[in-house]
Amino acid sequence: MNDWTRLCELLDDDPELLPAVRLAVAGDEDPWTALIDGLDDAGALAYLEVNDTGIELADALPPLPRVFATGVELDKVGDVEGDLTAAIVRADSLLASRDLRIVYLDEDSDAYPLVVVPIANVAEILEITERLGFTARIFP
């Protein structure tokens, strides 16, 4: 449970996230799904689909609390030609100037859940996620 606790702390500070994940760990639910659902419920997740474009990303990121607090302008992300990954790389570079990174949380579906976290948390998030048997990644 210590890894789940730490992962929740690193991803978001919503007080309801950790209890939801703890309940899933203790019960028959998938804690990874509970984590993603909890981040979504907290408004900390940009929930896109693999076929979305930069326009959808430019709309999904600004309401996230960490992004909103920076005031970073993401309109240029909507102009990125190509797939969603290219737009994420552009957005990630803009957010990096505010010490934030975009982390993808793999759900094994067409969903593309993205969370924005402090750069200082990224390495530990990736390490814990791997140790728990799940996949999270950043963009080059």
* Spans of all domains in the chain: 2-137
What pTM does this model have? 0.95
Q: How far apart are CA 138 and CA 88, in angstroms?
A: 10
Query: Residue 109: what pLDDT?
Result: 82
- Residue with tokens 């948390």, as numbered in its chain: 121
Spatial CB neighbours of 51, under 8 Å, sequence gap ≥ 6: 84, 110
User: Taking 80 as the threshold, does the pLDDT of residue 6 lie above it?
Assistant: yes
For residue 64, the Cα-to-chain-centroid distance in whole angstroms is 10
Cβ–Cβ under 8 Å, residues 11 and 17: yes
The H or E element spanning position 104 is strand 100-105
Neighbours of 1 (CB within 10 A): 11
Q: How far apart are CA 6 and CA 22, in angstroms?
A: 12
Per-residue pLDDT, averaged over 42-49, amounts to 96
Q: How far apart are CA 77 and CA 75, in angstroms?
A: 5
Per-residue pLDDT, averaged over 19-37, amounts to 95
For residue 43, the Cα-to-chain-centroid distance in whole angstroms is 11
Q: How far apart are CA 103 and CA 122, in angstroms?
A: 8
**Picking from 11-15, 61-65, 89-93, 109-113, which range would have the lowest pLDDT averaged per residue?**
109-113
